[in-house]
Amino acid sequence: MNKFNKFHLMLMQKSGTLIIASISMVVLTLTAIRFAVADSGSEIFKLGDRIDFLQQKLSNHNSLDNSEYEETIAFLPPEPGQFEIIKTIKSDNLTPKSVVYADPGLFFVQNMMYEHSIAVYNRQFQQVKKIDDQVNLSKFGHRDFPAEKYKGSPVEAAVSKDGKFAYISNYRMYGPEFNNPGYDTCLPSEQFDPSFIYGINTENFTIEKAIKVGSVPKFIAVSPNGKYVLVTNWCSGDVSVIDTDTNQEIQRIFVGRFPRGIAISPNSQTAYIAVMGTSDIAKIDLQDYSVNWMYNVGLYPRHLVLDSTGKYLYVTLNGDDHVAKIDTETGEIIRKIFTGAAPRSMVLSDDDQFLYVVNYYSHTVSKVQAEDMEILDTITVGLNPIGITYDPKTRQVWVACYTGSLVVIQD
Name the residue ranges covered by the structural domains of the chain: 34-410
Q: Which residue has the higher pLDDT, 278 or 2?
A: 278
pLDDT at 39: 63
Q: Is the pLDDT of residue 283 over 60?
A: yes
Given a cut of 90, is residue 44 above it in pLDDT?
no
34-410 CATH: 2.130.10.10
Dihedral angle, C-alpha 213, 217, 219, 225, nearest 10 °: 0
Per the CB < 8 A criterion, the answer to whether 396 and 410 are in contact is: yes
Question: Which pTM value belongs to this model?
Answer: 0.83
Chain mean pLDDT for the chain: 86
H helix or E strand, kind and range, residue 28: helix 18-33
pLDDT (tens digit, 9 = 90+) per residue, 223-234?
999 999 999 999
SS (H, E, C) 254-279: ECCCCEEEEEECCCCCEEEEEECCCC
Using the predicted structure, report yes or no on whether residue 6 has a pLDDT greater than 50. Answer: no
pLDDT score, position 26: 42
| Comparison of pLDDT for 33 and 397, the residue scoring more | 397
Q: How far is CA 267 from CA 252, 310, 385, in A?
A: 21, 9, 32
Element (H, E) at 98: strand 98-102
- Please give the pLDDT value at position 254: 97
Cβ atoms within 10 Å of 375's Cβ, excluding its own = 16
Q: What percent of the chain has pLDDT over 70?
A: 80
* Distance, CA of 15 to CA of 36 (rounded, Å): 28
User: Average pLDDT in the 316-344 region?
Assistant: 97
Report the pLDDT value the prediction gives residue 187, as an integer from 0 to 100. Answer: 85
pLDDT of the residue at 203: 96
Cα-atom radius of gyration of the chain, to the nearest Å? 20
| Strand boundaries in 309-395, DSSP class E | 312-317, 322-327, 333-337, 343-348, 354-359, 364-369, 374-380, 385-391
User: Residue 189 has what pLDDT?
Assistant: 81
Residue 36 scores a pLDDT above 50: no
Which pLDDT band holds residue 192 (cuts at 50, 70, 90)?
very high
pLDDT band at 64 (very low <50, low <70, confident <90, very high): very low
